[in-house]
């Protein structure tokens, strides 16, 4: 039987950090969940936080739980790609675990906003792929937020105002995808991920492979 293993399936590559951003209601959480369910090569980035552990949460799976003093030490030691304080609790992306994973060829998914994206990109441009997801229209975005049935009109208006502010940063991303249909949006994001994995700069195993071809 002929060997059906292709070099492109076995060559080592460097991993990447895929950022998904969008205004609330545009669908980034749904797309992120679909990627994690359907693509075995990507995993969610696990943040460190000073927030107390909630029932059902697991250390190292949902978050790395640290006390404020340890978090401050990590900030001072520049151990985070990005960090922020939200509602009295701090959150940050530890560098060490991510960098080790990238070297091993693992990909990491980030569900973060524009500010976090900027911080991450400034720390490690070569490994970051930035994707911004837009709604098909402002009217559709409002309909989606209203359709949840969980927020008051005042909260929805606040979310709409924030959404317009977030959309204004669309040109700070490598790719922009309009989420008119969730399956089509997922396919586009998946194609972006596949193409980025195949970039020559990330195909670290190509050097030895090509040398072998030339020597042969």
* Across 114-131, average pLDDT: 93
pLDDT at residue 23, rounded to an integer: 92
The answer to the question of residue 152 being in a domain is: yes
Q: Let me know if 101 is exposed, middle or buried by CB neighbors in 10 A (0-12, 13-18, 19+).
A: middle
Q: Point out the least confidently predicted range of 100-114, 123-137, 139-153.
A: 139-153
pTM of the model: 0.85
Average pLDDT, stretch 18-41?
95
- By percentage, how much of the chain surpasses pLDDT 90? 81
Q: Are the beta carbons of 213 and 168 closer than 8 angstroms?
A: no
CB-based contact 37:148 (threshold 8 Å) = no
pLDDT tens, position by position, 84-120: 898 899 999 999 989 999 999 999 999 888 988 998 9
CATH number at residue 179: 3.40.50.300
Residue 6 confidence (pLDDT): 54
Domain count, the chain: 1
Residue 190 has, within 13 A of its CA and on its CB side, a CA count of 16
Average pLDDT over residues 11-33: 94
> CA–CA separation, 100 vs 20, rounded Å?
21
At residue 7 the predicted structure's pLDDT band, cuts being 50, 70 and 90, is: low
Cross-sheet strand order for the sheet of 107-111 = 42-44, 107-111, 17-21, 128-134, 175-178
CA 81 – CA 97 distance, rounded (Å)? 11
pLDDT value for 5 = 44
Domain annotation covers residue 72: no
Does some domain include residue 78?
Answer: no
Residue 50 lies in a domain: no
pLDDT at 165 over 80: yes
Report percent pLDDT > 70 for the chain: 96
Neighbour-count burial of 160, counting CB atoms closer than 10 A to its CB (0-12 exposed, 13-18 middle, 19+ buried): middle
80 part of a folded domain: no
87 inside domain: no
pLDDT of residue 9: 56
Length of the chain: 216
Question: How many whole angstroms separate alpha carbon 188 and alpha carbon 172?
Answer: 19
State the pLDDT at residue 69: 97
The answer to whether residue 55 is domain-embedded is no
The range of the structural domain enclosing residue 201 comes to 9-45+106-215
pLDDT of residue 176: 98
Can you tell me the mean pLDDT for 175-194? 97
Report yes or no: 45 and 94 within 8 Å, Cβ to Cβ.
no
**Per-residue confidence band for 210, with pLDDT thresholds at 50, 70 and 90:** very high
For residue 24, is it within any domain? yes
With a CB cutoff of 8 Å and minimum separation 6, the contacts of 168 are: none
Both structure tokens of 200? 């020559």
């Amino acid at each position: 039987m002929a060997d059906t293993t292709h070099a492109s399936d076995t060559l080592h590559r460097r991993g990447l950090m895929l950022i998904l951003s969008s205004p609330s209601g545009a669908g980034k959480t749904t797309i992120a969940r679909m990627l994690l369910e359907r693509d075995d090569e990507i995993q969610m980035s696990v943040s460190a936080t000073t927030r107390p552990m909630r029932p059902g949460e697991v250390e190292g799976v949902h978050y790395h739980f640290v006390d404020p003093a340890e978090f401050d030490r990590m900030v001072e030691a520049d151990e985070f790609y990005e960090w922020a304080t939200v509602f009295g609790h701090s959150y940050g992306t530890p560098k060490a675990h991510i960098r080790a994973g990238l070297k091993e060829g693992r990909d990491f998914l980030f569900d973060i906003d524009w500010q976090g994206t900027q911080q991450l990109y400034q720390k490690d441009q070569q490994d970051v792929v930035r994707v911004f997801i837009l709604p098909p229209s402002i009217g559709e975005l409002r309909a989606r937020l209203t359709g949840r049935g969980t927020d008051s009109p005042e909260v929805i208006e606040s979310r709409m105002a924030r959404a317009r502010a977030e959309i204004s940063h669309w040109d700070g991303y490598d790719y922009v995808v309009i989420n008119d249909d969730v399956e089509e949006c997922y396919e586009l994001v998946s194609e972006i991920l596949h193409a980025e994995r195949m970039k020559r700069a990330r195909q670290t195993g190509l050097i030895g492979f090509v040398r072998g071809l030339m020597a042969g």
